[in-house]
Amino acid sequence: MAIWLRRRWSGIISAWSDMRGHFFYRLIWLGMISACIPIILAGMGYYQIAVKEAYQKTEEESRVC
């Protein structure tokens, strides 16, 4: 195989492995973010509902009959 052809292929392969590494890095971050965002939103929703119910319960208990 000619030296120029070997150099060309080695350049293509190294560029492909660099691009593939960045792709997997971004894919992992996308997976983490897509898993964390629904958990955070659900936690915030649960917190809002729980606090609202706690305030209502405290308000009912503090009323004088």
Rg of the chain taking only CA atoms, in angstroms: 28
What pTM did the predictor assign? 0.56
Locate the domains of the chain by residue range: 22-65
pLDDT tens sequence across 10-64: 666 666 566 666 778 888 889 999 999 999 999 999 999 999 999 999 999 888 7
Question: DSSP state, 45?
Answer: H
- pLDDT value for 53: 95
Q: Which residue has the tokens 């660099």?
A: 18
pLDDT of residue 21: 67
Q: Which of 9, 30, 27, 31 is nearest to 19 (CA)?
A: 27
pLDDT value of position 22: 77
